[in-house]
Amino acid sequence: MVRNIANKVIIITGASSGIGRETALLLAREGARLVLVARRDRLLQELPADLRLPLDLTRREDVQQMIADTRGKFGRIDVLINNAGFGFFGTVESTPPQVVKEIFALNFEAPFTAIQLVIPLMREQKSGQIINISSVAGKRGLPLSGVYSATKFALDGLTQALRLELKDSGIDVCLINPAGTQTEFFEQVRRGDVAGKFRPMGHIQPASAVAEAIVRCIRKPRIEVYPYRVSRIVAWANAVAPSLVDRMMIPFFHDRIRAKTGP
């Protein structure tokens, strides 16, 4: 059955730019009641919303406030879109412990906490949807993106477990795996032992294509969505024959591997 989006209470984290921003614009047109969350309030103010929460989701108390304020204002939460995230380029051997802490805090712990806090309410409602924005990098590790990939693999594992735990609860759990997407992501990415810039590999999709896939997933929930369909083949091939995918990837990642400054 195709669901109506009008009047649904939808939280979007990381709504100030990129995929989150485009998703907010599409959902506003559908008449959703939007709760937009990010640190840059100035950018949130440019978007149509029912509630704007300038919060730093690496802080547990800010995640708690996001859920409490939404519940306080609307009395319900229909969809939680865990989208906020950042990347890190650097070798595994040189990734600083502080980066590991900070990237897991935003890309994994924030969704984890938000999910824990929203489930009791969605259980009471006997309905709801949790959408986690992962990545193709959550299906296949990429050189110089080890810790970023690890956060997305963690989110994938969590999502799979949750899906089974919430079976028959009326709560849908969905994972979105974008390929390279045209957003601020590559400007904001933190850098370790890499020199210069290198372009993301392969097909780059517009943020609007990912946003449209998210909206379709709200209308008709799916377990896993690949907004760029070809990347599903990469995920599938890697599950079946990772050594073959290693061999196929090495030529594509020549520039990236050469960009490292270490030994």
CB atoms within 10 A of CB 57: 26
Please, which residue, 95 or 181, has the CB nearer to ligand NAP? Answer: 181
Segment contacting ligand NAP (CB under 6 A): 18-26, 112-120, 157-165, 243-251?
A: 18-26
Q: If binding is defined by CB under 6 A, does position 191 make contact with ligand NAP?
A: no
- Scanning 27-35, 37-45, 68-76, 191-199 for contacts with ligand NAP by CB under 6 A, the matching segment is 37-45
Residue 123 CB, shortest distance to ligand NAP, in Å, is: 26
CA nearest neighbour of 158 among 102, 110, 87, 122: 110
Q: Which is nearer to ligand NAP, 16 or 113 (CB)?
A: 16
Does residue 51 come out as left (phi exceeding 0), alpha (psi in the -120 to 50 range) or beta?
beta
Of the residues 89, 153, 185, 228, which one makes contact with ligand NAP according to CB under 6 A: 185
- Residue nearest to ligand NAP as judged by C-beta position: 18
Sign of the four-CA dihedral 114, 119, 120, 121: positive
- CB neighbour list of residue 32: distance below 8 Å, 6 or more residues apart: 5, 6, 7, 8, 9, 10
Stretch that binds ligand NAP, among 27-35, 39-47, 73-81, 248-256 (CB under 6 A): 39-47
User: Does 38 interact with ligand NAP (rule: CB under 6 A)?
Assistant: yes
Please give the torsion angle defined by the CA atoms of residues 176, 6, 35 and 223, in that order, rounded to the nearest 10 degrees: -20
Respond yes or no: is residue 228 known to be catalytic.
no
Closest CA to 134 of 197, 248, 227: 227
Two structure tokens written together for 181: 């997407």
Number of residues that bind ligand NAP (CB under 6 A): 29
What would the two tokens of residue 228 be? Answer: 């760029």
x/- map, 64-83, ligand NAP, by CB under 6 A = -------------------x
Sequence-ordered alpha helix ranges (H) in the chain: 18-29, 41-44, 60-74, 97-104, 110-125, 146-165, 185-188, 207-219, 230-240, 242-252, 254-258
* Separation CA 171–CA 122 (nearest Å): 7
Question: For ligand NAP, which stretch binds (CB under 6 A), given 25-33, 38-46, 91-99, 117-125?
Answer: 38-46
Q: Does 85 help bind ligand NAP (rule: CB under 6 A)? A: yes
Q: Which of 89, 108, 148, 226 does the annotation list as catalytic?
A: 148
Q: Does position 216 bind ligand NAP by CB under 6 A?
A: no
Nearest distance from C-beta of residue 196 to ligand NAP, angstroms:
19
Residues that bind ligand NAP (CB under 6 A): 14-20, 38-40, 43, 56-58, 83-86, 106, 133, 135, 178, 180-181, 183-185, 188, 200
Catalytic positions: 148
